[in-house]
Chain A
């Protein structure tokens, strides 16, 4: 069964500083990997996804993530954070459950990001 670990429950960074959120996954085959962001009381917004090919993936809002198979990691990065980036971030691994439809997503427990001025 697939699983996702986000080791950092809460991270605080200064506005303008760089950011890296960690994600480790467990999955027997080549994974589909995702990062989502959730603002308080809101749904999830897809930041980026990895299915195959280039291991460095660019997403929205200036985020990127790098897939490292040898480390079973898919860390999210941003070179300079903005106050509006404060939110909960979820890493997810997707597994096909049928020949139809999209992947079943297994989420980590999330990392809460706080930005200080």
Chain B
């Protein structure tokens, strides 16, 4: 079975631009979460979606938004990119509470 897949794997953007990152969860998983991992740190929670509705949001500005589609795939959007948005963006899917989260390989975003 395929794991969590994310696209693209790498991305370079210029300050002020917009970016869309994509995630396909493990088949049957309805919960998708997004995390940001800055170099040298642990991942930080951005969003969680379950059954296409936002269920949780971390301490990130409104420039960050996300959505989940009927097939449970998800997009993370970041507007007005800043240099500080450079990071590895991780998507995780889960069957639900108490089942653990399974992460994709991430999208490495570099803002120049």
Task: Report which A residues bind B (CB closer than 8 A).
Answer: 4, 32, 34, 36, 41-46, 49, 51, 90, 92, 96-98, 100-110
Contacts and interface: CB of A to CB of B under 8 A. Distances in A.
Contact of B100 (A96, A98, A102, A109): A102
Contacts of A97: 48, 55-56
A90 to B, nearest CB: 5
A65 to B, nearest CB: 13
Contact of B42 (A32, A90, A103): A90
Given A97-B48, A97-B55, A102 B101 contact: yes
Contacts of A109: 40-42
- Top 3 nearest A-B pairs (CB, nearest first) are A107-B42, A101-B50, A102-B94
- Residue of A42, A103, A107 with most partner-chain B CB within 10 A: A103
A90 B37 CA distance: 12
Interface of B: 4, 6, 30-31, 33, 35, 40-45, 48-51, 55-56, 58, 90, 92, 94-106, 108
Given A98-B50, A100-B55, A104-B33, A43 B42 contact: no
B50 A100 contact: yes
A105 B45 CA distance: 7
Given A97-B56, A102-B99, A104-B48, 18 more contacts: A32-B98, A43-B103, A46-B101, A90-B43, A98-B48, A100-B96, A100-B97, A101-B30, A101-B49, A101-B55, A102-B31, A102-B95, A102-B97, A102-B101, A103-B98, A105-B43, A105-B45, A105-B92
B56 A104 contact: yes
A109 B99 CA distance: 23
A45 B103 contact: yes
A42 B105 CA distance: 5
A19 B4 CA distance: 30
